[in-house]
A and B are shown apart, each in its own frame.
Chain A
Amino acid sequence: MKIPRLLQAALVLAGVYFGFVVVFDVILEAVIPASLLVMYMFFVTAGVFMVFTYDEDQTRELVAPIKALVEDPAKRLWRNLVFAIVPLAVGGATYMQMQPGFEAPLELRTIHPAPPTTAKIYGKRVNLLQLENPFRKLEKEDPEQFRELVNEGAAVYIRNCQYCHGDKLDGQGPYADGLNPTPLNFQDVGTIAQLQESYLFWRITTGGPGLPKEAAPWISSMPVWQDFLTEDEVWQVILYLYDYTGHRPRSWEHE
């Protein structure tokens, strides 16, 4: 038996929807955000519409049941039922959507606020566009000393940072569950791998209170580390972050 095209389209949409839910939520155990699923389904629906309507005959076949429902006198009962149920369903869905709940409102926090051109760090005005890690050149010039500096950075990290950012640098430290937003996951390719070292230096040294107005209202609990660590220690920690994760800092020159 040939499945009517309208039903085919509905089945494709339902299949894709449940496919997303099953693959992400069950198989991969990484829940798909509802906001994204809505966006995905909107364009999947557009795609299904495109495939089902590019041909005139197939379009007629697709809309035939809808046309019959609206125009066929024999389908009066069904028509009345559909015309009653659809507005009720839309109204119900709208009501559920708009109903106030106890959940905190969604936050669209800027993960990477843009740095200022200059910042006052360790009592001096620093140009973040030109600032470089003073130890980075040792990676080639003196690998042994570089390794020592990385190890020193590791020690500083373990003493100060791992409580939140985790000993695997994955943002899963023992205190992480108590924080919202949770500490940054440095293993993620979308974090330090995308940034210059000067950016990390600025974020570490000035912490949450140093976030620019653009990111307001900032809710970062990152301390102002220039009050607790020396400048060299901060640069060493930065070396360690890249070394451990295997990422390279953003740069403009080939190595």
Chain B
Amino acid sequence: MKDPHPTQRGPASAMIAFVVALAAVFLLAFGPVDALAAEPAAADGVAAGSYAPAPKLTAADYPTIAGINSRVAVWIFAQLHLWFAAFVLAVPIFVFIIEVIGMRTRDKRYDDMAYEFIKVAITAYSLTAILGGGLLFSLILFYPHLFTYLSTIFSASMFYYALLFFAESAVLYVYYYGWHWLQGGFKKWVHLSLGLILNAVGTTLMLLANAWLTFMMSPAGVDAAGVFSGDAWAAIHNFLWNPINIHRFVANIAYGGSIVGAYAAFKFLTATGNQEKAHYDWMGYNANFIAICALLPLPFAGYYLAAEIYAYSQQMGITLMGGIFAWLFIIQAVLIGTLFLSANYYLWCGMGRSDGAKRYTKYIKYIAIVLIGAFLVWFTPHTLVLTNEELKALGGPHHKILGPLGIMPAKNTAVNVMIIFTALSFMFYRRANKVATVSWVNAGNAIQVALFTTGIANIMFLGIYHGYFTNTVYKVAASIPQVLTTVAVIVGSITLDSFIYRGAKEVGPLHWGRIPGRAQYALFLLAVSFTWLMGLMGYIRSGIRQHWHVLDIMRDASPDAFTPTLGYAANVVSVAAILFMAMVIFVFWIAQVSGSKTLPAGYWKG
């Protein structure tokens, strides 16, 4: 339950790591970088006062240190840092929203829950800083010329990044440690404002870091030789910056929701009393709700990003989904489907909290049939793995039925249907404990059925007609009306529902805590799937540059410049995911320990 005495878990380790990292940034951004790395060959023709072109490196320009595999070291640090960063950037967003809800409803449970969420995030924040320091050091040590080149272009933004990091730390600590101090009236408004500032600073930090990585994929503000024009904004505002910003912003919220959901599940399973179980069941439900809300638009943000990558470079686009990484995309599809299935399963199990749920549970099997059917289409690969006998029977690798299911129009149609039916599960969950009292309830239901039916028909039409019978411009563009249809169906039906159930009778009190333990494992599955998914897709996003540090400008000449096998990459990501999970369990444990007290009988005098 709520910790009335916030413990003084000092962020000392994080600050040390951060200060060292900051010093390194300054050194590289403004200092004698050549002292760290000897000048590589062929930085030709640098006019005085202008920027140097991207260095042309050889294998000798990459230090080898203690036999460590430099790529794997940077990879794991970057991945761990990113997971924690995604989590700690997301949590303040929904903590802010929950705090607002608490202020509006004056229901203290919301305020307590928001506090508990931020308590989990605060330890994670220290780990984020430590891992960020690790990433920076490993980059400087193993890839000094790349870091030097990037810091030449982004020196100003790196400087502001460091300042913002200080601001983020300061605001976060006042926000967290001042939670119980800044309560009531004006003080609560001050606290809420701190939450807003915290989110603004955190989001700006993410945008800056995104600029550095997207510059490596779609460089801007430099010429063909990599000579920086001096326009930092052009380098930041590169082609893929906004698509990544949108995708990461939405994904972070979904991810943060899933991690705190796992925390609530952990606490639920270890709870001993019914009251405690009820509290963590409620918390798990809210966390899952946040994760689902952000999960629903996520496939569209991902599709937008992929389409923009393809638009920027045919080479990167084909490598991404048609080339060597295509099978990782199948794993991605499987994991995304798993997210939807887990989220739905949790909702269905949660209907047991209400005595009125029986009226709706009879529809669950139909929702499951549609979800699974759409899921199968969603992950059907374009390149089938065929035995020789199957090849012979089919007369070639082309499958007349499954082949068309392997391309994006089928996937987009399937995912829209999955999203609509997940929303339907949610609507049934909301209705489970209510009985409508308005006279037009039948007409309202009929309109909702019509809305769902026409929406799905429209999605199918757009997917089939524009996906298979027009050119790629319309095929890609058709995804937009598909999304709008899905949004219209969801928003329209939920709005209508709110009118139908205005002043509705409650069947009975909701029995929080009356949910099977296995539903909590669905929450764990959600968090694990998200983690693995982010790791694999992050690898793909980075890997599509192939042998380039900065695409077409700065070539990777290190011994690790090759693209590893999918199995190897999946193993690295899996090991990193296990490390992350171990750290998350540590974070959960610390959050639990902070609320524990031991009374050492006879230890103290008096």
Contact = CB atoms under 8 A, between A and B. Distances in A.
A112 B364 contact: no
B397 A103 contact: no
Contact of B383 (A111, A254, A255): A111
A31 B398 CA distance: 11
A28 B274 CA distance: 56
A214 B323 contact: yes
Nearest to B407: A190
Contact of A33 (B313, B344, B371, B390): B390
Given A50-B348, A109-B383, A189-B468, A115 B315 contact: yes
Contacts of A31: 390, 393-394
B491 to A, nearest CB: 27
A66 to B, nearest CB: 15
Interface in B375-403: 375-376, 379-391, 393-403
A248 B379 contact: no
Contact of B349 (A54, A182, A215): A54
B323 A110 contact: yes
Contacts of B402: 30, 32-33, 36
A114 B319 contact: yes
Interface in B333-386: 334, 337, 341, 344-345, 348-349, 351-352, 361, 364-365, 368-369, 371-372, 375-376, 379-386
Contacts of A110: 322-324, 326, 383
Q: Which of A40, A183, A194 has the most CB of B within 10 A?
A: A194
B319 A251 contact: no
A30 B383 contact: no
B495 interface: no
A199 B471 CA distance: 16
B404 A172 contact: no
Contacts of A51: 364-365, 368
The A contact surface, by secondary structure, is loop
Contacts of B379: 39
B322 A44 contact: no
Interface in A102-132: 103-104, 106, 108-117, 128-129
A151 B323 CA distance: 33
A33 B398 CA distance: 12
A181 B397 contact: yes
B322 A114 contact: yes
A35 interface: yes
A125 to B, nearest CB: 13
B403 A190 contact: yes
A253 B473 contact: yes
B190 to A, nearest CB: 45
Contacts of B393: 31
Contacts of A56: 352, 516
A33 B472 CA distance: 28
B8 interface: no
Interface in A168-186: 171-172, 176, 180-183, 185
B357 to A, nearest CB: 9
A36 to B, nearest CB: 6
Q: Which of B318, B322, B396, B407 has the most CB of A within 10 A?
A: B396
Contacts of B375: 43
Contact-residue bracket for chain A: 35 or more
A131 B365 CA distance: 52
A39 B337 CA distance: 13
B563 interface: yes
Contacts of A111: 322, 382-383, 397
A104 B388 contact: yes
B327 interface: yes
Contacts of A253: 473
Contact of B552 (A28, A117, A172, A215): A117
Contacts of B316: 114
Interface in A47-99: 47, 50-51, 53-56, 59
Given A39-B379, A115-B315, A190-B404, A214 B372 contact: no
B315 A128 contact: yes
B108 interface: no
Contact-residue bracket for chain B: 35 or more
Given A51-B364, A51-B365, A252-B473, A115 B314 contact: yes
A247 B404 CA distance: 14
B470 A248 contact: yes
B535 interface: no
Contacts of A198: 314
B200 interface: no
B106 interface: no
B426 to A, nearest CB: 14
A54 B428 CA distance: 14
A214 B404 CA distance: 25
A24 interface: yes
A111 B322 CA distance: 7
B388 A199 contact: no
A55 B361 contact: yes
Interface string B477-489: 1000000000000
A253 B406 CA distance: 24
B341 A46 contact: yes
B403 A188 contact: yes
B345 A194 contact: no
A252 B318 contact: no
Nearest to A118: B552
B314 A129 contact: yes
Nearest to A247: B471
A110 B383 CA distance: 8
A48 to B, nearest CB: 8
Given A33-B390, A189-B468, A113 B396 contact: no
The 4 closest A-B pairs by CB, nearest first: A248-B471, A112-B322, A114-B319, A54-B348
27 contacts: A36-B381, A36-B385, A39-B379, A44-B372, A47-B371, A50-B348, A54-B351, A55-B352, A103-B389, A111-B322, A113-B323, A114-B314, A114-B315, A114-B323, A115-B315, A117-B315, A128-B314, A129-B314, A171-B396, A176-B396, A182-B397, A189-B403, A189-B404, A190-B382, A194-B472, A199-B314, A252-B311
Given A34-B387, A112-B318, A113-B318, 13 more contacts: A43-B375, A44-B376, A50-B345, A106-B387, A108-B385, A110-B323, A114-B324, A129-B315, A171-B396, A189-B407, A189-B468, A194-B322, A250-B314
